[in-house]
Amino acid sequence: MIEWLHPGLIFIFGAFLIPLFKGKWKKAYLLLPPTAALIVVILMFKGVLGSSGPFWQIPFLQYTLVLGRVDKLSLCFGLIFSLAAFCMVLYALHVESSIEHMASFFYVGSALGVVFAGDLFTLYIFWEIMAIASLLLVWLRRTDRARRAGMRYFLWHFFGGLCLLGGIIMYVINTGTVAFDYIGLGGVGGVASYFIFIGFLLNAGAPPIHGWLPDAYPEATITGAVFMSAFTTKSAVYILVRTFPGTDVLIYIGAIMTVYPIFYAVLENNVRRVLGYSLLNQVGFMLCGVGIGTDLAICGTVAHAFCHIIYKGLLFMSAGSVIQMTGKENCTELGGLWKSMPFTTACCMIAAASISAFPGFSGFVSKSMIITEAGSLHLGIVWVLLQLASAGVFHHAGVKVPYFTFFAKDSGIRTHEPPLNMMLGMGIPAFLCVFLGVYPQLLYNILPNTAALSYMPYTGSHVVGQAQMLMFASLAFYVLIISGVYPPEQKKINLDTDWLVRIPGMRFVWFCQKPLITFANFIDRNVLRTAGASKSSPGAVAVCEKWMDKFYHKGLTSTPKAMYNGIEPLKSEIGYLPWNLIYVLISFIILLFIMLLWGVGIK
């Protein structure tokens, strides 16, 4: 009898068979791995197939790698990852590219590998596979902007991967264990815990290292962006729940993260960039819940991640359907599509209501746990920021996206609904957004602890308070639009903290392409000229060599000696100062000065 099956490896090994199928057989096969993975996770919940305990333990050096760590937390994330993957693969059935499907399968499989990893080495391997697969989903759009965004995405995640790997190595050396458990900042882990923390925060999109997300997600393929909306950041949230619960700094990072993206989302013109900033806003709630660290806050974090994967995926699906059918993705180019795409409009409105936490929708029953716990612990400033962020997300994701995409002015575009598979892929998440909002206890029953079982989201004060906030937020949006004060949609890219990569990166490329290449060419020419002269005139070469030898031994070596004689009176104050150190220091200062002059001159 099979003791346990890894749902992630079902995707990874299944990816290799995708190129063998064509046409309808290919579409049928594509649904097989996500269906099998979902069934496996459900059987784990039922206790039929490895409901708890470590599985697939592999000896490695003096350590033990654990590919299957199964408990309530991993099962909860495993369930939503498998369910989301099924809906997204169904949504992407019309895509003909086998490479894109393979990248998606590797991406989902590695995310599930992260969820069920029981040691840090296994975690890191799946973590890097996930980064590479998601990078392919950006580059497979095959546009110049996608190529550039993908390279910036790679640089960010390469940095995060190095921090994580370095932190893991130091942590294992300090503690002697590879267990994927609570780490905490400082403590036994020491400096290593900070490197690990930074590596996880980067994938979560925490400011100021979040610029890669709104930069890369809009440039990914239509279906690739849908997949990316679900797994990278939520994998990081899962890991933070495991390793850094109750870390105070996460409270304030999360609170800032909920508010900061709102302003950029209001200014953005590209629909998927708006959704990218909206995604950061929602992950901020989760990081805040991890930082609070109480049982109810952790339940709220997991529940909100569960619901967020569904409604955020639905928002990206709706935007992707519009791009698929119109070829347009800017708010300034859209409008009036509700007449020709009513089903897509309805799905987008359901997702918008969910992310805005309307009573009766999934966001209302998950986000409120985190806000309630912040209030009960008297975190006044944090509570105010979370409430402000709740109103702000309604402005940009709850109103702006559906309003400018499907309503507002009529753009004159006449199209029709997307293919049937895309509509089915949107229909399932839309149903779940309403179902979980009406029957939240089904969600609360699978959360990692029992704190949520006694939580009542539908109290009079909560429903009325949320309704009031949404009503006044709607009124504010209406007044701003009517009065013309609302920031106009403009065809431009707003640089965020990604200028740290864009501007210095452009200057470094300029330095490599111009001064460095010019210098290299100069050296090459003179070496060839010298080589030619040595063949035609050996005597001249001997004279030149003698002159160079004299210059080096008498000229260059006497320079530091003269400098040393000049500062010899300082010897009693600064101690012995070696000649070589002076020479190297002066050379370094001159080189740095030249590089700065070149950098300032770049336009």
pLDDT band, very low/low/confident/very high, at 601 (cuts 50, 70, 90):
very low
Q: Are 452 and 296 in contact (CB under 8 A)?
A: yes
Q: Is 39 exposed, middle or buried (0-12, 13-18, 19+ CB in 10 A)?
A: middle
Cα–Cα distance, 379 to 400 (Å, whole number): 30
Q: Which residues pair with 65 in a beta bridge?
A: 58
- What's the pLDDT at 542? 64
- Could you read off the pLDDT of 270-287 as tens digits, one per residue? 999 999 999 999 999 999
- Could you tell me how many residues make up the chain? 603
DSSP string for 352-386: HHHHTT-TTSHHHHHHHHHHHHHHHTT-HHHHHHH
- Could you read off the pLDDT of 154-200 as tens digits, one per residue? 989 999 999 999 999 999 999 989 999 999 888 777 899 999 999 99
Report, as an integer, the average pLDDT of 115-119.
94
Residue 570, pLDDT > 50, answer no
Residue 557, pLDDT > 70, answer no
Cα–Cα distance, 135 to 156 (Å, whole number): 11
Backbone phi and psi for residue 63, each to the nearest 5 degrees, phi listed first: -115, 175
Window from 120-124, 324-328, 450-454, 507-511 with minimum mean pLDDT? 507-511
pLDDT band, very low/low/confident/very high, at 482 (cuts 50, 70, 90):
confident
> Domain locations in the chain?
246-492, 514-600
Composition of the chain by helix, strand, coil, percent to 5: 75, 5, 20
- Could you read off the pLDDT of 216-256 as tens digits, one per residue? 999 999 999 999 999 999 999 999 999 999 999 999 999 99
- What's the pLDDT at 505? 66
- Could you read off the pLDDT of 487-539 as tens digits, one per residue? 666 666 677 776 666 667 677 777 777 787 887 777 777 766 666 655 556 66
For residue 125 the two structure tokens come to: 């391997």
Whole-Å CA distances, 564 to 22, 85, 551, 572, 573:
78, 70, 19, 13, 14
- Could you read off the pLDDT of 43-99 as tens digits, one per residue? 998 887 777 778 888 898 888 899 989 999 999 999 999 999 999 999 999 999 999
Report, as an integer, the average pLDDT of 299-326.
95
Cα–Cα distance, 356 to 318 (Å, whole number): 16
Nearest alpha carbon to residue 243 among 199, 308, 305: 199
Cα–Cα distance, 139 to 149 (Å, whole number): 8
Backbone phi and psi for residue 106, each to the nearest 5 degrees, phi listed first: -60, -40
For residue 49 the two structure tokens come to: 């197939």
**Could you tell me what percent of the chain has a pLDDT over 90?**
57
Buried b (16+ CB within 10 A) or exposed e, 44-77: beeeebbeeebbbeeeeeebbbbbbbbeebbbbb
Q: Are 98 and 18 in contact (CB under 8 A)?
A: yes
DSSP structure class, residue 56: E
**Could you tell me what percent of the chain has a pLDDT over 70?**
84
- What's the pLDDT at 217? 93
- What's the pLDDT at 585? 52
- What's the pLDDT at 530? 63
For residue 198 the two structure tokens come to: 């930074």
pLDDT band, very low/low/confident/very high, at 576 (cuts 50, 70, 90):
very low
Residue 563, pLDDT > 80, answer no
For residue 324 the two structure tokens come to: 């698929």
Q: Are 29 and 17 in contact (CB under 8 A)?
A: yes
DSSP structure class, residue 487: P
Q: Please provide the average confidence, as pLDDT, over all residues in the chain.
A: 85
Residue 466, pLDDT > 90, answer no
Window from 106-120, 225-239, 257-271 with minimum mean pLDDT? 257-271
- Could you read off the pLDDT of 353-377 as tens digits, one per residue? 999 999 999 999 999 999 999 999 9
- What's the pLDDT at 527? 66
- What's the pLDDT at 581? 46
- What's the pLDDT at 91? 96
Cα–Cα distance, 327 to 510 (Å, whole number): 34
User: What is the greatest pairwise CA distance in the chain?
Assistant: 101
- What's the pLDDT at 539? 62
- What's the pLDDT at 409? 80
Answer whether 0.85 is exceeded by the pTM.
Answer: no
When comparing pLDDT for 474 and 108, which is higher? Answer: 108
Cα–Cα distance, 95 to 27 (Å, whole number): 9
